[in-house]
Structure 1
Amino acid sequence: MSFTSFALRAHEDRKQMGRAAAQSAARTIRDAVDQRGSARMIAASAPSQLDVYRALAEEPDMPWDRVTVFHMDEYLGLDIAAPQRFANWLIEHFVGRVNPQHFHPMRTESEDRGMGEYVDLLRAAPVDLVCLGIGVNGHIAFNEPPHADLDDAKPARIIELDHVSRVQQVDDECFATLEDVPTQALTLTIPTLMAAAHLVCAVPGPQKAAAVRALVEEPVGADWPCTVLRRHGRCEVHVDREAAALLGSTA
């Protein structure tokens, strides 16, 4: 397999970070297809992942026709055609470029029924890979501090977005104003993400430096949900120099 323990890897810039993360993700996908004939992955929808997805789309000889893609969260209250919807963002920046065998967008028009069907699809077979990031406040998916349940019994839930997360959406230029950002979202829970065989996490930029420091130094807990990644036996976290700025010689 491509990696066998939690590892933090620092790179000079976003492009190098994205390329390294994409190479790890590609190996995981190829291994799964070689071993089982198919691969299943969960992908984050965030600007922080753009360098990863660009590099992954350029990987040669990828068996995308045998890959099923899910995503990990979705806003409530947005029009189905809104470009800010995570499914639409992922289609534009990743899914539409690699054309996987299947892409399953979250349905939010009927929250309970739609999420139930989504979870059934997700649980139909093991998940080989999660490509994820870490929020400014340390969230993974939309499991927000300090209320994130690291041992949540539910596979998915409706959450209230933390103020810091909503501000981040404006800073990332996904929304023009804070008032435009939805206040609720559907999210896969932490145990659902942690159940995947491999995690590849990409965290670029100076605004993520505090979260990266917390990932390494803080106790595992809901104050910094990202710290739970240290419990996963096959997790790579790739950061650029700016995101690693508070680590000193740790990385």
Structure 2
Amino acid sequence: MGRVAAEEAASCLRELLEKEPEINCIFAAAPSQSEFLEELCKQPGIDWTRVNGYHMDEYVGLSLGHEKSFNHFLSESIFNKVPFKSANLIDGSRPVEEETARYGQLLRNAPTHVTFMGIGENGHIAFNDPPVADFEDKEVIKKVKLDLVCRQQQVHDKCFDTLDEVPEYALTVTVPRLMASQYIFCIVPSDKKHDATVAALTGPVSTACPASILRRTDNVRMYIDKACAGNLAK
């Protein structure tokens, strides 16, 4: 699945680069994206020197390069593997107001061509968990309190050993800013994501399942594996 998603994403990037002098992409940092990112780095014909990379969320309190940070994950998974024009990292250790202002302005100055994301066990996109997701949010990036299901997922994903180690707060790009992307590739493996995926695809479009907002646009491609799909086709 990751390879197929990467091949189609690469085709999209190549087409955009034929028309644009440079493009801007937002990436998700999660183990669910690892296969996709590994395969994307292998794809031929992408002029990465004309691609600016961004990411969609980061834990408050974790500095640049911290081994548990999302900026570290993406640096190791893609930003340091191919020659981006720029890799723009969220620094969770900076004062929140300063960092949200800084990164928000970066994104305002760089309309997003492609966003690569997943769906959380609670239906979140980025760290827009159900209690804090806002489909009409006026902010570009904001501080949020992570809900319990989200924090437990970080333990399930083996990002942290215990729940107590998982930060309680994070910075996240907001739902409207993610949805403003020209193209969205949503990669969702694992049976742990089955219920959230079913809710996103068949339930009400509401912040109870933030990923349901993806149904309001026709620029989304979703990739799910058999474990995630379950009996969805029925």
Shared topology, TM-score over 0.5? Answer: yes
Q: Which residue is 1:10 aligned to?
A: none
Report the CA distance between 1:246 and its aligned residue: 3.6
For the Cα contact (< 8 Å) 2:9–2:185, is it kept in 1? yes
Structure 2 gaps, min length 5: none
Equivalent residue letter for 1:178: L
Asked whether 1:129 is paired with 2:114, we answer yes
Residue 213 of structure 2 is aligned to residue 200 of structure 1: no
Distance in 1, matches of 2:105 and 2:189, equals: 33
Q: Does 2:39 correspond to 1:27?
A: no
**Structure 2 CA distance for aligned equivalents of residues 213 and 149 of structure 1:** 20
Q: 1 CA distance for matches of 2:9 and 2:42?
A: 12
Aligned to 2:165: 180
> RMSD over aligned Cα, in angstroms?
1.1
SS of 1:55's equivalent? helix
On the 8 A contact 1:210/1:246 being kept in 2, the answer is no
1:209 aligns with 2:194: yes
What is the TM-score with the length of structure 1 in the denominator?
0.90
Pick 1 or 2: higher relative contact order, CA cutoff 8 A, min separation 6: 1
How far apart are the structure 2 equivalents of 1:133 and 1:214? 14
SS of equivalent to 1:121: helix
AA aligned opposite 2:107? L
CA distance, structure 1, for counterparts of residue 194 and residue 155 of structure 2:
19
Contact 2:64-2:71 within 8 A present in 1 as well: no
Find the counterpart in structure 1 of residue 151 from structure 2: 166
2:102 maps to a residue whose letter is E
Please tell me the residue identity of whatever aligns with 1:143: N
What amino acid maps onto 1:64 in structure 2? W
Deviation at 1:206, TM superposition (A): 0.6
Asked if structure 2 preserves the Cα contact closer than 8 Å seen for 1:107 and 1:115, the reply is no
Aligned to 1:46: 30
Which residue pairs with 1:6 in the alignment? none
- Which stretch shows the higher mean deviation, 144-153 or 53-62? 144-153
**Identity rate, percent:** 38
3-state SS, counterpart of residue 138 of structure 1 = coil
